[in-house]
């Protein structure tokens, strides 16, 4: 129906990563790997973000922060766990302060393995997240149409 596809915005948060994955996420966004050519943009503001890229596991102190960031993001949203730490807790799984992967606290959609995750696989994760985001926003629009009689903008116009 010629609907303009939205460019999802990325929010990047460093859970308790060792920085390895963290830097690779940044490297992915800089010109050599240039994830922005896929139509995503990096933002620092959770309220404008659609995709949450999160590195590192969850510990007692950052769990509320992660939860808050997730809640602040508008729906629909997609969460990508980057690196083995974010997927399962990784090498730090047995540490006393680590709860485990990100999915112990918020729902995760896409898991990107690797220690450190390579830019290529992060790009792969971003592409998957973008497609999933598109699917979810379509579903969201569909839901709005059937339950509330059309999406917001149509109501205003007509």
Structure tokens at 112: 């990107």
- Within 10 angstroms of residue 36's Cβ, the number of other Cβ atoms is 16
* CB closer to another protein, 92 vs 137: 92
Peptide bond into 105 cis (omega under 30): no
Residue 153 near residue 75, CB atoms below 8 Å: no
Chosen from another protein, ligand SF4, none, partner binding at 84 (C-beta under 5 to 8 Å by type): ligand SF4
What gap in Å lies between CA 49 and CA 47, rounded to an integer? Answer: 6
Which of positions 34-93 make contact with ligand SF4 (CB under 6 A)?
A: 55-56, 83-85, 90-91
* Candidate list 18, 27, 38, 63; residue touching ligand SF4; CB under 6 A: 18
Least gap, CB of 95 to another protein (angstroms): 4
Peptide bond into 76 cis (omega under 30): yes
Least gap, CB of 17 to another protein (angstroms): 7
* CB closer to another protein, 13 vs 111: 13
Instruction: Give strand pairing partners of 30.
Output: none
Interacting residues with ligand SF4 (CB under 6 A): 17-18, 20-21, 55-56, 83-85, 90-91, 115-116
């Amino acid at each position: 129906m010629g609907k303009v596809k939205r460019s999802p915005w990325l929010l990047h948060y460093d859970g308790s990563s060792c920085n390895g994955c963290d830097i690779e996420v940044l490297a992915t966004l800089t010109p050599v790997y240039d994830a922005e050519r896929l139509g995503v943009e990096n933002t620092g503001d959770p309220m404008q973000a659609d995709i949450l890229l999160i590195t590192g596991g969850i510990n007692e102190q950052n769990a509320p922060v992660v939860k808050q960031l997730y809640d602040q993001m508008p729906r629909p949203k997609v969460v990508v766990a980057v690196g083995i730490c974010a997927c399962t807790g990784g090498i730090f799984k047995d540490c006393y302060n680590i709860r485990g992967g990100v999915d112990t606290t918020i729902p995760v959609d896409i898991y990107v393995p690797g220690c450190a995750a390579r830019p290529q696989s992060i790009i792969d994760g971003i592409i998957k997240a973008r497609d999933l985001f598109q699917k979810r926003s379509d579903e969201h629009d569909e839901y709005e149409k059937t339950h509330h009689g059309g999406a917001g903008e149509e109501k205003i116009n007509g």
